[in-house]
Chain A
């Protein structure tokens, strides 16, 4: 029961972090020029009620509708011989003096008269701009009805209804290219997640091998030199390693699809200090474990120290990995662009340039969810493996 409560706490923490991170992003978006709360759709005046309906005359200036759209007099062109003149449509009559039915009258055929002069119509009544009056901050403003915009949704309506409601109904809306946002994110994740987890796995394995080599090395003075060399190599930014790899001929090949993702995994695991930091952290953990009495005892009994150290390394390794995932999910942007992998990184850059804030928010929340999920798995692993965590909970 206590363990279930502990697990519930961790899951609750994950959900709270996920919700709050999306809230912060939505708040940031709300104050940006591309805020979804700003008016952008044309106003439909059917059913609009004077003194009640809200209308925007620009993307940010909204107010209450004070007058319904009115149509100024329409005009027509009438040809008298060679003389073309424009008159208000209501001034033009038939030869008998009756009002003209503009739905049936034929251009350049049926005779029409204005006063004493008669001629033929060359145009139908031009549609004049309809105008509306809107009270914005106590000032009456007049605008063309076709320019008027419908007010955007409120923050809570957008965040709760459009965004999270859309996540649950799997329909947030279209992206910049017309495709559904969630579909694009899921397609990108198919590339990005294997690359990121593959890079982490490769870095951990290579790091462990290096730690084993440095521990075994019979010349202690060489350890510092080798460690520094590895750190120096690992400090190279991902883009520089990617650049040199492409210059060396490792290029994306449409016929061999796995070259680009593998190259991304390689440069991600090595660059941006990823391997160097992992090496230092793992070396520290191994050194700490080697100084423990039970490892000494195992060594004295002739048992494999590595075998006894391995269970003790699981939790530190999972902690290091969980902390590294967020960093790798950032660096993957560079690797994906260099190798033209259509993952989340490349997609986020496209969304930033277009710009498509909704897609950008969705990608970021997805990435945050992945980071949180990895941390949750690490916490659950700790609860399962480390009895001290459970005992601490039971002890209150």
Chain B
């Protein structure tokens, strides 16, 4: 019998157990293999993806949550009465653990868990806008400067990027607030304008970082054989730059910086909201920053303090991990 001849399983010399035992054996083997593989798994990718998934779920859930309509759990001494749309079940003080409420209540007596979910609204879309601005402008400027090297165009773009990079990002946001928002009749109420201004300024301030990364990438690819081959085939500069360099090879760089900037936006938004309603989002809108500030008189290790803080830290860390992992995993072998 040759080595490759078909063998009837019934003729096999291996002991034949029951179906269940065979499944069990395979499952255990698979489990062991999986666990062993996990040793080599990129934990940053796992953590980052999980955080991103949770943020997206929170954002979708926030559509259906209106904290003002929730039951309020305030002591009558604190509030002068109950608030909110529903009837009060418990009487307790603010920023405290409440029986039946996950994480207790917040500074206004509302469910902290719900408020933390709704607070994702404060940064999700503005962060996306910020990323869109940075990606559009940064990719365009970096690609043009990197591809058309040695000319006035490159020098001009590099000088303008150096000028923008000289401004500290947070200072630029504060400048925009002072120039545009503070003159409004009701600066505290201009939530949309304030967040749009924050997004625009952070996006613009991040342009030099992304443009420099794209500039270096494009410079590296220009010496590659496939680019020379594309030129030899008579492809236009626009096509080579757009399809062969940016779309086919620079997507991981852009994705990496997208997650970095997303995380950085959370950092800035929560920081400014912590400082006060006149700097970040107004008090009427929940943010992880103002949730923490609102419970500043609470116990150090109470959920009201730890939950918003951990939410901010975990999100920023997860998004940074995700950016790092994408950069390391997908940018390798492309240079």
Interface residues of A (CB under 8 A from B): 13, 16-18, 20-21, 24-25, 28-29, 32-34, 228, 231-232, 235-240, 243-244, 247-248, 272-273, 326-327, 329-331, 333-334, 337, 348-349, 351-357, 360-361, 363-364, 367-368, 371-372
Contacts and interface: CB of A to CB of B under 8 A. Distances in A.
B137 interface: no
B303 to A, nearest CB: 15
Interface in B299-322: 300, 305, 309, 312-313, 316-317, 320
Contacts of B177: 352
Interface stretch (B25-33, B119-127, B138-146, B160-168): B160-168
A288 B270 CA distance: 37
Given A25-B175, A327-B169, 20 more contacts: A20-B163, A21-B163, A24-B163, A28-B179, A235-B313, A237-B313, A239-B270, A244-B300, A248-B300, A326-B168, A329-B168, A334-B275, A349-B174, A351-B178, A352-B174, A355-B179, A364-B171, A364-B175, A367-B167, A367-B168
A337 to B, nearest CB: 5
A29 B171 contact: no
B171 A231 contact: no
A364 B162 CA distance: 15
A371 B168 CA distance: 9
B292 A17 contact: no
Contacts of B259: none
18 contacts: A17-B163, A17-B166, A18-B166, A34-B178, A34-B179, A235-B316, A236-B309, A239-B292, A240-B309, A240-B313, A329-B171, A330-B169, A333-B171, A334-B271, A334-B274, A360-B178, A361-B175, A364-B172
B180 interface: yes
Contacts of B271: 237-239, 334
B182 interface: yes
A273 B320 contact: yes
Interface residues of B, number: 41
Nearest to B274: A239
B278 interface: yes
Nearest to B180: A32
Given A17-B163, A326-B166, A243 B180 contact: no
B267 interface: yes
Given A21-B163, A357-B178, A349 B275 contact: yes
Contacts, number: 138
B235 to A, nearest CB: 34
Nearest to B308: A240
A1 B306 CA distance: 61
B296 interface: yes
B298 to A, nearest CB: 9
Nearest to B270: A237
A334 B164 CA distance: 21
A29 B178 CA distance: 10
A360 B275 CA distance: 18
B4 interface: no
B275 A243 contact: no
Contacts of A21: 163, 166-167
Contacts of B320: 231, 235, 273
B170 A330 contact: yes
Interface in B271-303: 271, 274-275, 278-279, 289, 292, 296, 300
Interface string B196-208: 0000000000000
Nearest to A346: B275
A32 B301 CA distance: 44
B292 to A, nearest CB: 6
B316 A237 contact: yes
Contacts of B296: 243
Given A235-B320, A360-B178, A367 B171 contact: yes
A355 B178 contact: yes
Contacts of A32: 179-180, 183
B183 A355 contact: yes
B153 interface: no
B159 interface: yes
A333 to B, nearest CB: 6
Contacts of A273: 316, 320
A330 B179 contact: no
A190 to B, nearest CB: 18
B168 A243 contact: no
Contacts of A20: 159-160, 163
Given A273-B320, A337-B275, A237 B168 contact: no
Given A239-B270, A244-B300, A348 B174 contact: yes
A116 to B, nearest CB: 56
A243 B162 contact: no
B159 A33 contact: no
A211 B226 CA distance: 40
Interface string B262-273: 000001001100
Contact of A240 (B172, B292, B300): B292
Contact of B292 (A231, A243, A349, A372): A243
A356 B169 CA distance: 19
Contact of B317 (A18, A232, A349, A360): A232
A359 B309 CA distance: 33
A331 B175 contact: no
A220 to B, nearest CB: 14
Nearest to A337: B275
Nearest to B44: A228
B267 A330 contact: no
A240 B170 contact: no
B178 A352 contact: yes
B208 to A, nearest CB: 10
Given A20-B159, A235-B313, A353-B182, A28 B175 contact: yes
Contacts of B174: 333, 348-349, 352, 360
